[in-house]
Structure 1
Amino acid sequence: MKTYRQSLDELHFTREEKNAMADRLTAGESRGGGKVRSIRRTVAVGVAAALLMTMGVGAAVTLTPAGEVFASVFGGAPAQTEIMDRMGVPIGASDTSGGVTITADAIIGDTYSYAVVYSIARDDGQPLAEDLTPLGGGDGPLPLTFDQADTDIGMLGGSHGTAYFYDADPADNAIQYVEMMTADTPIEPGTATATFQNLYLRGEDIQDRTLLAEGKWKIRFQFDFPDSGVSLEAGQTFQLNGMEATLDGVTISPLSIQVGYTVWEELVWDHQDQADGQMSEHDREQSYRFFESLPVTVNFTDGTALDLSGNGGGIRPEDGKTVCQKGRVFEEILDLSTVESVTVGDVTLPVEAE
């Protein structure tokens, strides 16, 4: 029998609750308000290059172009790098504690989603740990975790996503930490505050941890980026498992997709969690009926398609109806000129890239 985490990937939480949950992002957890499914990812190793920029009189800051920062996360093909350079913003803000410096390298985002990459390095040039082999081998996430890791963008409402550690350049002593989130409401520009506390090497058991760096890091940076999202024409009615539903909106960018819809029937949760953490049969069925079963497909001009039915999101029962958001950050950056349409249920919406 599936647990709540397996079926919905956890609940949304308040910011205070988030800060008390040690490993929630490195385990691919969610935050905000409502029941969700989050997206877990693996990462391919890439190499980042640096760009020297002059800021002020006599002050030089080495920044990495956004396209190169995110090449290890979303793909490093020339077309992808060009798109990420247009969408992304280098940051370069950092904080040092206990002989370790954490730097916010770059951010990329759109109307509903963002990704930010941080680099972590010991100031003496030594590696963080002698052995950082990914758990399970391969090119999966590195076995690291924080006591606390949070990027506060001042957003109200729910969000879901994932975060993990990887090594963009094995030739240097830095490792990277990427956080990717999708919100239920549009993201507003402002000032982001990233806080981290105590870095550990972890084993197969999440409780098996070895302290690598003791300290607290706080980094503030401008949270703003060009929005390349395209809003598709919505308002269509469709059927979902015998229920009438209305497509409230669809937004797609090279980074992510967000689908909003209203089911004209109210979902009622069991609200009786079993002692062993298992999800009730009723709640499993309702989650599938209102949310998980909705098909979402991106259709490309070459005839191929990308199935995004497993997107994360939120469900909110409201005055006799159920309001849903279903979205995610893509595995790779998409060139919207190659996207022909998006299909939600039996409604197909053409995409005209700007």
Structure 2
Amino acid sequence: MSNLSEYKQSMETLRFTPEQRARLAAEAAKAASRQAARRTRRPFGKMAVIAAAAAVMLAVGAGAAGVLPSPIDVFTPLFGGSVAQTEVIDKIGHPIGASATDNGITLSADAIMGDEYNAVIVYTLAREDGERFLPEGKGLDETYLMMGGFGSSWVKGGTHGTSWFVDQDPEDNMIQMVETVSSDAPMSHGTAAVDFQDLRYWDHETERDELLYEGRWKFRFEVNYEDCSVRMGGGETFSQDGLVFTIDGISVSPVAVKVNYTADTEVVWSNSGSGRQAPEDARQSQRYLENVEILLTKADGTVIDLSTSGGSLRPGNGVTVCSKGQVLEEIIPLEELASISVGGIVFPISAE
């Protein structure tokens, strides 16, 4: 992958809706000329990155040794460390401890948590020689990182997600990578195949992505965590943009939200064949996905807008089955959630 345009093209092989692919490619381009925004609630920056598809195959050794990492130690610096949040992590977090080493860099999968349709995994990348991981004088704010490969996969349904990097100590030999995965098929159990290749960064001077560490990191691990989501909805309808939507089901957990609904007409894509999203396809995707408002309200009155969550569309038999959702930016215990609104229909959330 020698430049940003090739990076964008490789993203087309991922399983995103046309609207998501366009939006993600645009964000990648923007990131080349500006800093990625920080989440101010966290004591360190994070940079968004999408795992782009790669073609070269090179097997490396895998294995785990020593004591398994504690999910509480892994997740609390990233998703909150209150007593209630820690209790959630202790209940649903699962240690992994699998790793692979190539070209002096070890990639370790530390821990996973999630619900039936969403998961978040934390990895650590470390230099075996103990030297500073990022170039001297460079931090994540100046170094837009991109990891190639196929990421982690263990579900057969349509998936979408994102990932970002965290550097808790810029002077040490490691950084963390957080990967989120959302699916329209159950995913709390299975065998995950991890496949990452080449850590790259965006060079603002050359306006190209450059190789930081060459390597191929492949291994497997067992996915096994507890689903503590609550479910609601089924049969409620709302109308907008000339469409009638029927809510099929809603799932809310302390770490993620997923909404399934069906539109009464079948989306038709232009199939332009240009490799670029046609304007009409963008408008269609907005009608069926992005324009459907999803608002999560906390007990303290805080409203979290999840309307732009990723998702999938499955047209057929005169209707379009829609699914959208995402992993939350922080752990929110169910008792701290009041309601979720989909298309203006409000559903109370009960922790019981």
Question: Is the contact between residue 65 and residue 97 of structure 2 (CA under 8 Å) also seen in structure 1?
Answer: no
Shift, 1:33, TM fit: 6.1
SS in 1 for 2:67: strand
Distance 1:202 1:298 in 2: 35
The code of the aligned residue for 1:143 comes to: Y
Question: Is the contact between residue 75 and residue 333 of structure 1 (CA under 8 Å) also seen in structure 2?
Answer: yes
Shift, 1:348, TM fit: 1.4
Q: Percent identity?
A: 38
> 1:178-327 residue pairs with structure 2 within 5 A?
178-204=178-204, 208-272=208-272, 277=276, 279-280=278-279, 282-327=280-325
Shift, 1:145, TM fit: 2.5
CA deviation vs aligned residue, 1:102-140 (integer Å, no higher than 9, x gap)? 1111111111111111101111111223243224x5xxx
Cα distance change, pair 66–311 in 1 and its aligned pair in 2 (3 A): same
Shift, 1:67, TM fit: 2.4
Cα distance change, pair 193–205 in 1 and its aligned pair in 2 (3 A): farther
The code of the aligned residue for 1:87 comes to: I
Distance 1:95 1:270 in 2: 43
- 1:84 and 2:89 are equivalent in the alignment: yes
Distance 1:92 1:23 in 2: 30
Greater mean deviation of Cα atoms: 232-241 or 177-186: 232-241
Question: Is the contact between residue 117 and residue 188 of structure 2 (CA under 8 Å) also seen in structure 1?
Answer: no
Distance 1:338 1:96 in 2: 41
Distance 1:174 1:29 in 2: 30
CA deviation vs aligned residue, 1:142-161 (integer Å, no higher than 9, x gap)? 532233241121x1121111
Q: What residue is the counterpart of 2:50 in the other structure? A: none
Query: Residue 133 of structure 1: which of 117, 129, 139 is its match?
Result: 139
Q: TM-score, normalised by structure 2?
A: 0.79
Shift, 1:241, TM fit: 2.6
CA deviation vs aligned residue, 1:164-205 (integer Å, no higher than 9, x gap)? 222134453211111101112221512112122222343248
CA deviation vs aligned residue, 1:188-243 (integer Å, no higher than 9, x gap)? 51211212222234324897344333322222211111111111132212223332
Distance 2:205 2:322 in 1: 34
- 1:175 and 2:175 are equivalent in the alignment: yes
Distance 2:321 2:127 in 1: 46
Structure 2 stretches of 5 or more lacking a match?
28-36, 45-63
The code of the aligned residue for 2:67 comes to: T
Distance 1:214 1:244 in 2: 50
Distance 2:249 2:290 in 1: 18
Cα distance change, pair 205–246 in 1 and its aligned pair in 2 (3 A): farther
Distance 2:161 2:203 in 1: 23
- 1:124 and 2:129 are equivalent in the alignment: yes
Cα distance change, pair 152–231 in 1 and its aligned pair in 2 (3 A): same
> 1:1-150 residue pairs with structure 2 within 5 A?
31-32=14-15, 34-35=17-18, 37=20, 42=38, 44-45=42-43, 61-131=66-136, 132-135=138-141, 142-150=143-151
Cα distance change, pair 339–124 in 1 and its aligned pair in 2 (3 A): same
Question: Is the contact between residue 132 and residue 170 of structure 2 (CA under 8 Å) also seen in structure 1?
Answer: no
SS in 1 for 2:186: coil
Q: TM-score, normalised by structure 1?
A: 0.79
The code of the aligned residue for 1:134 comes to: L
Shift, 1:284, TM fit: 3.0
Question: Is the contact between residue 100 and residue 123 of structure 1 (CA under 8 Å) also seen in structure 2?
Answer: yes
CA deviation vs aligned residue, 1:28-56 (integer Å, no higher than 9, x gap)? 9883364453788855346xxxxxxxxxx
CA deviation vs aligned residue, 1:39-93 (integer Å, no higher than 9, x gap)? 88855346xxxxxxxxxxxx97233321221233322333323312221111111
Distance 2:300 2:13 in 1: 34
- 1:333 and 2:331 are equivalent in the alignment: yes
SS in 2 for 1:235: coil
Structure 1 stretches of 5 or more lacking a match?
1-20, 47-58
Greater mean deviation of Cα atoms: 92-101 or 72-81: 72-81
Shift, 1:247, TM fit: 0.3
Q: What residue is the counterpart of 1:164 in the other structure? A: 164
The code of the aligned residue for 1:184 comes to: D
Question: Is the contact between residue 188 and residue 226 of structure 2 (CA under 8 Å) also seen in structure 1?
Answer: no
